[in-house]
Chains A and B, each alone.
Chain A
Amino acid sequence: MIEVVNLEKSFGDKKVLDGINLSVKEGERVAIIGTSGSGKSTLLRCLNCLEDPTGGAIYFGGENIADFKVDINKHRRHIGMVFQQFNLFNNKTVKNNITMVPVICGLENYRKTKRKNLFIALTNLFKSKSKKKALLPISETPAEIKKKASDKADELLKRIGLFDKKDEYPSTLSGGQKQRVAIVRALAMNPKVMLFDEPTSALDPEMVGEVLALIKEVANEGMTMVIVTHEMGFAREVATKVLFVDEGKIVESAPPDEFFTNPKSERLKEFLSKVL
């Protein structure tokens, strides 16, 4: 699903990622661990081009999204992202946080189809009968798009038990609640893959459990995931593949059992002995 080839990223002279090769298949859950500053967050942020890679290629949906000419916004709609600092939109209510982007995207597509139809109708005027092109179908009216997004948001909020908070602003929620809303906000876009950037690092220890439980639930539904985390136990339980990143390179990549019980490289042995 995502194919990373020889990815490089440098900030100025500092090389943060140095020749990363990685492939994430459908249904796979990849956990990335490593020390701070090892480049694991940068690697994740490169996967949806929040950081533009300085070299290499990332193939998603049959296109190299590291290329500047590709319409990255179109691809990002299929890549959900959850941040360490939640990043809920502070000026929107909880429900609007979830519905806002699906509604904007839906309306954008609706207008685009309408424009194209107008163009087809215009060109049809100058064509003989046999060459006339059919109009593109418009499946939903704007009201239906809004209704659908709203229903979906209600359903998602009920699922995480925050339906009664739907009209409140993010500033009134606890950290765990914010992160759960952030996760369902990403889910509302029906992503093909989800990226988690240290989803529990900014939370109180008490609230880590509820967020991890939600991520596990989403994982069990078969969502493809890439997770940067410091929670070793969680990585072991959820991931199907664990990567160890150090100094911008993938040092070791193995299924979780083998990764944690039988590490091969010295660097990983040292790291695990410190954190476990």
Chain B
Amino acid sequence: MKWQKFVKFFFTYKGYIEVLDGLKSTLIIAFLGLIIGIVIGTIIASIKIIPYKNFFQKVLASIGDFYVWLFRGTPIAVQLLLIYYVALPLMGLKIPSMIVAVITYGLNSGAYVSEIMRSGLLSVDSGQMEAGRALGLSYGKSMFKIVIPQAIKNILPTLGNEFITLLKETSVVSFIAVTDITKAFQSIAGGSYEYVIPYCVLALCYLLLVSLVTVAVKLMEKRFRKSDRSC
């Protein structure tokens, strides 16, 4: 009986189209958010670990500190609401909610990734940077060619973790009227007055997504670890 209701709403009333659309938004927001986060995080972490900073770098580092403090200190749902309903109207801008979501999730994950990245950069033996500098490479070149590739190898498991967190946090994106997979199942449940099966299926969907990400991260790790002895 319950199953029949769910199947009817899912297939006959074309609920699956909404679900697939929602799945697409969820994946796009999480994936692009992570990429933006990695870019922002790498930049902030690289500035923060410069040993002797000049005035300009000190200003940049404090801006980075402030940014991390702000975005780690408030929930993502509040950030979405503030940016979409307060900040953008104040600036008189009209941006599609999907783009706002991608940017907000990117900014949010950037705050976390910057700290992950910093620990990764610190985990690389300082001799690697020294060797690069002693051979005559600049600080930036040594960083990008030698230290960052090794740091990324070290933080890959943590970065996978961050992606999983981000993927699940997208479930609140419907606050700013983006239809993600949670919202899609919510409307099926609301339409059919039948809650058990849609929400269980929703949970299974997230489990499946996270499992896929886990496998993908493991494969990537294997690929990156080929410079280690143990393989």
Contacts and interface: CB of A to CB of B under 8 A. Distances in A.
B130 interface: yes
B136 A91 contact: no
A48 interface: yes
A186 B229 contact: no
Nearest to A100: B145
B5 interface: no
Interface of B is mostly: helix
A185 B146 CA distance: 15
Given A83-B130, A83-B131, A101 B136 contact: yes
A90 B127 CA distance: 11
Given A89-B146, A90-B150, A91-B227, A104 B137 contact: yes
A169 B183 CA distance: 49
Contacts of A169: 226-228
A91 B125 CA distance: 12
A48 B227 contact: no
Given A101-B136, A101-B137, A104-B137, A87 B128 contact: yes
Interface string A71-93: 00111110101010101111110
Q: How large is the interface on A (under 10, 10 to 19, 20 to 34, 35 or more residues)?
A: 20 to 34
A88 B132 CA distance: 9
A171 interface: yes
Contacts of A101: 132, 135-137
B149 interface: yes
A48 B128 CA distance: 16
Nearest to B146: A89
Nearest to A188: B135
Contact of A189 (B136, B149, B226): B136
B32 to A, nearest CB: 27
Enumerate the 10 nearest inter-chain pairs by beta-carbon distance, A residue then B residue, closest first.
Answer: A77-B136, A87-B131, A87-B127, A81-B134, A76-B136, A169-B227, A101-B135, A171-B229, A91-B149, A73-B136
Interface of A: 48, 50, 73-77, 79, 81, 83, 85, 87-92, 100-101, 104-105, 169-172, 185-186, 189
12 contacts: A76-B135, A76-B136, A79-B134, A83-B127, A85-B127, A89-B146, A91-B146, A91-B150, A91-B227, A105-B136, A170-B227, A172-B229
